[in-house]
Amino acid sequence: MKALWSTLVMALFFLLIHSAYAGNFGNLNFGTYNVRNFGTVEFKADVTTNKFLLKTLIAKTSADVLAVQEIVDDELFKSFIKESLPQYNLILSECGGSGNQKVGILYNKEKLKLNWSKEDNRIANGESCQAGIRPAMVAQFQMKDSHLNFQVIAVHLKAGGRPQNIEARFKQLEILSQMVEELRSQKMDYIAIMGDFNSTEYLEDASAAARFKKVVRDNDLIDFAEDIDCSSYWKGPENDEVMRYASLLDHVMISKEFHQQFKYDSARTLAHCQKNSCRQETVDGLGLTYNEVSDHCPVVAKLR
């Protein structure tokens, strides 16, 4: 009986220690949003990004850290953030690949301090800044209240659903795995990875989706895409001009070590993905968030 009592006391002690430790990060919201060639005319000759609607959508995410993709006009985006979303600071890649689509990270400047950031071109597969694919943005942030650090990797992987494009992405995922391993080797275990993974295979190709999920497992990551049904809309395999079909391209992942510091998590999408519950819909039916901002939807993971 004494041994049993001792075991119970020790178990309670470790539970209390874990509970106290798990609260160190408080509340953190991570998100990703591909804003579809920000700063260029898209789809319709007279339509550019609806900045008021974009501001509203970003504010609705309540993200403390938000990865953004397809920033073509970087100066315009910088001024947009400064004027419309002053609660955020922005770090943006210099390179954007052949499409000049920069990758960036917005962060809550009241809550977080930027320790450092760097551009990692290993996944870009290009000989120059304007060639190949987009780089990754890597940053370390510190919680201003607890002074705890965590790392963020923002990505925008190779687009396309053809077999060669899928294989190109898996090569990029190998490099991304190496980046995660490098951070862990430096005792930087608290890692968040967000972005447009262009995972066309996720809902369409069971074997390729299984490969993708294996990469996630092998890297000891939690992928919140498991909790959502879609993150974007497209024309479908028949290139439909009227209907649009749901796909899941965007992911928010965190390392298991980081996930263990929280007691609760949830994930959701916003905009037309939320409005239409990922059902197929007409172009007009998807509304302004699709037609005037992006085919993608914001994806947000909340950690408590």
The predicted pLDDT at position 6 comes to: 55
The predicted pLDDT at position 19 comes to: 44
The predicted pLDDT at position 186 comes to: 98
pLDDT digits (tens, 9 = 90+) for 248-264: 999 999 999 999 999 99
The predicted pLDDT at position 48 comes to: 79
The predicted pLDDT at position 9 comes to: 47
**Residue 3 binned pLDDT confidence (cut-offs 50, 70, 90):** low
89 vs 66, 76, 77, 84, 114, CA distance in Å?
Answer: 10, 14, 12, 12, 9
The predicted pLDDT at position 10 comes to: 52
**Residue 13 binned pLDDT confidence (cut-offs 50, 70, 90):** very low
Among 21-35, 57-71, 89-103, 134-148, the least confident range: 21-35
Q: Is the pLDDT of residue 166 over 70?
A: yes
pTM here is: 0.90
pLDDT digits (tens, 9 = 90+) for 174-226: 999 999 999 999 999 999 999 999 999 888 888 989 999 999 999 999 999 99
Q: Is the pLDDT of residue 21 over 50?
A: no
The predicted pLDDT at position 130 comes to: 81
**What is the average pLDDT score of the chain?**
91
Mean pLDDT of 145-157: 97
More confident residue, 161 or 288: 288
Q: Is the pLDDT of residue 110 over 80?
A: yes
The CATH class of 23-303 is: alpha beta
Q: Provide the percentage of residues in the chain whose pLDDT is more than 90.
A: 81
Q: Is the pLDDT of residue 8 over 60?
A: no
Q: Provide the percentage of residues in the chain whose pLDDT is more than 70.
A: 90
Q: Is the pLDDT of residue 45 over 50?
A: no
Backbone φ and ψ of 295, nearest 5° = -70, -20
Mean pLDDT of 164-172: 95
- Contact by Cβ (8 Å): 254, 219: no
Residue keyed to tokens 């190998």: 174
Domain boundaries, the chain: 23-303
The predicted pLDDT at position 15 comes to: 45
Mean pLDDT of 51-75: 98
The gap between the terminal CA atoms of the chain, to the nearest Å, is: 37
The predicted pLDDT at position 125 comes to: 82
Mean pLDDT of 90-103: 95
Q: Is the pLDDT of residue 22 over 60?
A: no
Q: Distance of alpha carbon 247 from its chain centroid, rounded?
A: 15
